[in-house]
């Protein structure tokens, strides 16, 4: 068990109240992994004030120098990759392979933005008149409030912190209380890499105290949130009340269409990776397989075989699929299994909690799912796949788009025309052809549509820097 502190103005400090909370291993729920400050509004206010005081120094630091600090942090994280992956497994529950991949993602993000920091400045355009220079100038937006979820506890903090700092914007981050340890590790690496005091501040505690305070504080200029749609909408209302810039990424109900022009075995593997990887605890997880009637029965058999071949277990002991993060998340998944039964869907496999220590559940497949049912409409956030039969492409598209969400969507097909039509027709911010709905590249934009996103700013790539900068247009005659 490790005790950690808040980082405020370069100092590692406890909450003013002295209160703490513990995190627990989802595979061994009685085992305490870490102890953290249970901060309140006063702690969050001090963090915002520190970030505001650091804006001039960090914002005026040349981009290449900012980039070198991010690159050094990337190297430090790389040196600690094994340690961080183990911490991630023990706090969040991923398998060791999944955790290692996520940590590598954070390492790569800091390396990427370390390089991109050199390019931040502006563009020169041709002026209409003679003896005139027309250009833009990018400047830091000021102070950013970052609110991150538990399901990707190192990658998502990295892809918010790194572009903010690359842009010269200072930040206060509130990581999820279920798995805050990796955010502290990022802060430690940046501190060791030479980040000035106050440029990044980390405050742990409940959203009602810390999250609300940083989202509403007068000194905060931008708010970036990833989490549930309900909480995200509340953050949006709070942040925009006084004109803050807001970026929200929220839930998903992601489809994979399986065409009769697909190889069914390949389609089942792709759907399985998307549905059961990271225990289904991803906003981009495949929740619906929408299958053409000519290959429906064959696909159901193939996806059941895939699910039955997955052995849930402790991520540090070689399990194929880790536990759900808490008892509440497990119970929520089991509730949806019961809803599916009640609605008349056919439970093909899974649906039971494992009779062992930890929050483990079997990979679950339902067939004969009504596209208008709760099972097919509501985000579950567990390893549950609904298989829906359709007559062909037009009906498949109607079903795929017939939900409130629009984050990630895929099609498996060997028909090039069908694939290109899907790219044009689907209402989703991330579109996959012959790939799982999970997993995205770090150097291109990420974000959703409809209830999955605020549809304001995208994350990652150059779009990530756009959110944390504001542009001036300069007309210079000589």
Domains and CATH numbers, the chain: 2-250+453-477 (3.40.605.10), 254-433 (3.40.309.10)
Tens digits of per-residue pLDDT, 283-313? 999 999 999 999 999 999 999 999 999 999 9
The pLDDT of residue 2 is 84
How many degrees, rounded to 5, is the angle at CA 140 between CA 139 and CA 144? 160
Q: Among this protein's residues, is 249 annotated catalytic?
A: yes
Positions in the chain short of pLDDT 50 = none
Q: Residue 375: what pLDDT?
A: 98
Which of 38, 91, 92, 249 does the annotation list as catalytic? 249
């Amino acid at each position: 068990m490790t005790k950690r502190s808040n980082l405020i103005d370069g100092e590692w400090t406890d909450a003013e109240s002295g209160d703490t909370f513990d995190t627990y291993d989802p595979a061994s729920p009685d085992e305490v992994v870490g102890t953290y400050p249970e901060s309140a509004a006063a702690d969050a206010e001090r963090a915002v004030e520190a970030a505001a005081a650091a804006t001039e120094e960090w914002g005026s630091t040349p981009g290449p120098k900012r980039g070198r600090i991010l690159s050094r942090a990337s190297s430090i994280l790389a040196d600690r990759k094994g340690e961080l992956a183990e911490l991630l497994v023990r706090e969040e529950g991923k398998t060791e392979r999944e955790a290692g991949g996520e940590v590598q993602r954070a390492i790569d993000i800091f390396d990427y933005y370390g390089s991109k920091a050199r390019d931040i400045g502006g563009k020169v355009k041709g002026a209409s008149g003679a003896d005139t220079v027309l250009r833009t100038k990018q400047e830091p937006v000021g102070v950013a409030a970052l609110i991150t979820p538990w399901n990707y506890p190192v990658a998502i903090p990295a892809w918010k912190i790194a572009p903010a700092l690359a842009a010269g914007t200072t930040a206060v981050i509130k990581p999820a209380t279920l798995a805050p340890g990796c955010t502290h590790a990022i802060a430690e690496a940046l501190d060791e890499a030479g980040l000035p005091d106050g440029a990044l501040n980390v405050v742990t505690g409940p959203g009602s105290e810390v999250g609300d305070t940083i989202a509403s504080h007068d000194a905060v200029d931008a708010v970036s949130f990833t989490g549930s749609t309900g909480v995200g909408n509340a953050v949006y209302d709070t942040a925009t009340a006084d004109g803050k810039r807001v970026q929200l990424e929220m839930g998903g109900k992601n489809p994979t269409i399986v065409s009769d022009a697909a190889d069914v075995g390949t389609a089942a593997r792709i759907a399985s990776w998307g549905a059961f990887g990271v225990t289904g605890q991803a906003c981009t997880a495949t929740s619906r397989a929408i299958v053409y009637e000519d290959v429906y029965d064959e696909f159901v058999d193939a996806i059941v075989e895939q699910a039955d071949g997955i052995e849930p277990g402790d991520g540090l002991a070689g399990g194929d699929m880790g536990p759900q993060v808490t008892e509440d998340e497990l119970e929520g998944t089991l509730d949806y299994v019961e809803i599916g039964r009640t609605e008349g869907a056919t439970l093909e496999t899974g649906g039971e909690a494992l009779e062992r220590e930890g929050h483990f559940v079997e990979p679950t497949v339902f067939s004969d799912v009504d596209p208008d049912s709760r099972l097919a409409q509501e985000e579950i956030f567990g390893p549950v796949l609904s298989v829906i039969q359709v007559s062909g492409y037009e009906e498949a598209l109607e079903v795929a788009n017939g939900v409130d969400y629009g984050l990630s969507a895929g099609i498996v097909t060997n028909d090039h025309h069908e694939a290109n039509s899907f790219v044009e027709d689907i209402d989703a911010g991330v579109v996959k052809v012959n790939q799982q709905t999970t997993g995205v590249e770090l150097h291109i934009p990420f974000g959703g549509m409809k209830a999955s996103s605020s549809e304001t700013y995208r994350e990652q790539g150059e779009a990530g820097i756009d959110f944390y900068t504001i542009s001036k247009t300069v007309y210079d005659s000589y």
